Amino acid sequence: MIKEQLHQVQEKVKAACIRAGRDPGEVTLVAVSKTKPVELLEEAYDEGIRDFGENKVQEILEKEAVMAKDIRWHMIGHLQRNKVRQVIDKAVLIHSVDSVRLARQIEEEAAKKDLCADILLEVNVAREASKYGFLPEEVEGAAREIGKFSHIHIRGLMTIAPFVENSEENRNVFQKLFQLCVDMKSKNIDNINMDILSMGMSGDYEVAIEEGATIVRVGTSIFGSR
Ligand SMILES: *Cc1c(COP(=O)(O)O)cnc(C)c1O
């Protein structure tokens, strides 16, 4: 089951890359395994998946403890400051940094463990009241603040696009995040890279790839509905 669905997603990722004239090697598929049991993750692992996305710290800790050590765990959900300590050395990338306060906490915990945390800034591109993330006009200021932290490395941007019936409706959201990424690059802010663009989920990852995503986060289309 997982195998067929996973392969279908991988084929669509590849096809979207080719349509966009991009090298499929540029796009990482993060299998979003939140709420799913370890047995299903193992099936994906056996098919070669090494990047898994979770939205709760507790779930990362539980799964990380029992699964293979070569898995790269991605923290994609809203992160509370009091949970940073637990996840800082478990997640390879925190996609969901949505405030300078959270970044400051990450800086403190990373310093204590003498590591450098890779993060993305979450951007609320569609300005939805229900969503976390910086508004587009706040990103530069936040990046300049967070860029001063010596135990954090900003690697790029992330967005959760609105829920829509037709994925085309989100094309302009992805275009806006891509453009913001280009603008940020051109500012050459210290300690900041903009090489990762995490956007696109089950409903719209093909459009996101056409618009420049380097990470897509796909759950339902691989593991089934939650
Ligand atoms: C759940 C989740 C996804 C995956 O959503 P699907 O629609 O199941 O593919 C992607 N990104 C984030 C931040 C999520 O919380």
Q: Which one of 76, 205, 207 would you pick to mutate in the ligand 1 pocket, going by the greatest count of ligand atoms within 8 A of its CB? A: 76
What is the pLDDT at residue 92?
98
Q: Which one of 28, 55, 78 would you pick to mutate in the ligand 1 pocket, going by the greatest count of ligand atoms within 8 A of its CB? A: 55
What is the pLDDT at residue 220?
98
Q: Which one of 202, 217, 221 would you pick to mutate in the ligand 1 pocket, going by the greatest count of ligand atoms within 8 A of its CB? A: 217
Q: Are 222 and 10 in contact (CB under 8 A)?
A: no
Task: Please state the domain count of the chain.
Answer: 1
What is the pLDDT at residue 1?
83
Question: What's the gap in Å between 30 CA and the centre of ligand 1?
Answer: 10
Q: Are 33 and 2 in contact (CB under 8 A)?
A: no
- The ligand 1 atom nearest the CA atom of 205: 9
Average pLDDT for runs of 10 along the chain of length 226: 96 98 98 98 98 98 98 98 98 98 98 98 97 98 97 98 97 98 94 96 98 98 97
Cβ neighbour number for residue 182 with a 10 Å cutoff: 11
Reported pTM: 0.98
Structural domain of 44: 2-223
What is the pLDDT at residue 190?
86
CATH of the domain at 139: 3.20.20.10
222: Cα separation from own chain's centroid = 17
Name the residue at shortest CA distance from atom 13 of ligand 1. 76
Residue ranges lining ligand 1, Cβ < 6 Å: 32, 34, 55, 76-77, 160, 201-203, 217-221
Query: Which amino acid is it at 99?
Result: S
What is the pLDDT at residue 61?
98
Cβ neighbour number for residue 45 with a 10 Å cutoff: 19
CA dist., res. 200 & res. 171, Å (int):
10
